């Protein structure tokens, strides 16, 4: 009778709570000098150039991941925050958007999710003026405006 072999790779789910705890303690460490010193010590403990290069690349990679995650979370938090602090209700904001030029509506829609939601309202595109001093409107923009305007287009 043979003993079954252990799987080569773990088939269990990763322990997210351990990673979360480790990451949270790392992020909550405000002593940046000790982090810097620790990185230097770990780097110096690597015996070959290859190991040192590997360590440098991994440090850069984890730094990039943390930076991207931080920026993504900042944008997410800001877009939620904007809807709470904007003093006007949706219908008034849509009315204001309908009074400004189309380029400004597009620019406003790109600033936060609340303005994007308001800018999707067909009433914002009821009166489209394609005559500008500097022509910046292409076919795709016109098509998008017509689709958003729907039956409200005049």
Answer yes or no: do 78 and 98 share one domain: no
Q: So what's the pLDDT on residue 42?
A: 96
| Per-residue pLDDT reduced to its tens digit, 10-44 | 555 667 888 899 899 988 988 889 999 999 999 99
Find the mean pLDDT for residues 114-140: 74
Answer yes or no: do 55 and 98 share one domain: no
Answer yes or no: do 77 and 100 share one domain: no
Answer yes or no: do 63 and 91 share one domain: no
Answer yes or no: do 81 and 91 share one domain: no
Torsion of CA 145, 131, 118, 142, to 10 degrees: 10
Distance in angstroms (rounded) separating the CA atoms of residues 109 and 141: 13
Please say whether the beta carbons of 101 and 124 come within 8 A: no
| Per-residue pLDDT reduced to its tens digit, 75-122 | 788 767 766 777 888 889 899 988 888 788 888 888 877 888 888 888
Please say whether the beta carbons of 112 and 78 come within 8 A: yes
Answer yes or no: do 81 and 97 share one domain: no
Q: Which domain holds residue 67?
A: 48-85
Confidence tier at 45 by pLDDT (50, 70, 90): very high
Q: Which residue has the tokens 């009166």?
A: 127
């Amino acid at each position: 009778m043979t003993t079954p072999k252990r799987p080569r790779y773990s088939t269990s789910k990763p322990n997210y709570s351990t990673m979360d705890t480790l990451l949270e303690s790392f992020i909550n460490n405000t002593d940046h000098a000790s982090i810097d010193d620790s990185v230097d010590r770990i780097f110096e403990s690597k015996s070959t150039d290859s190991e040192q290069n590997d360590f440098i690349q991994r440090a850069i990679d984890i730094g990039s991941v943390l930076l991207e995650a931080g920026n993504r979370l900042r944008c997410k938090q800001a877009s939620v925050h904007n809807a709470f602090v904007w003093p006007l209700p949706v219908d008034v904001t849509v009315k204001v958007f309908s009074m400004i030029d189309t380029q400004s509506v597009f620019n406003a829609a790109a600033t936060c999710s609340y303005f994007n939601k308001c800018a999707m309202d067909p009433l914002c595109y009821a009166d489209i003026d394609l005559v500008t001093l500097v022509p910046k409107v292409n076919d795709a923009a016109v098509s998008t405006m017509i689709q958003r305007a729907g039956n409200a287009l005049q």
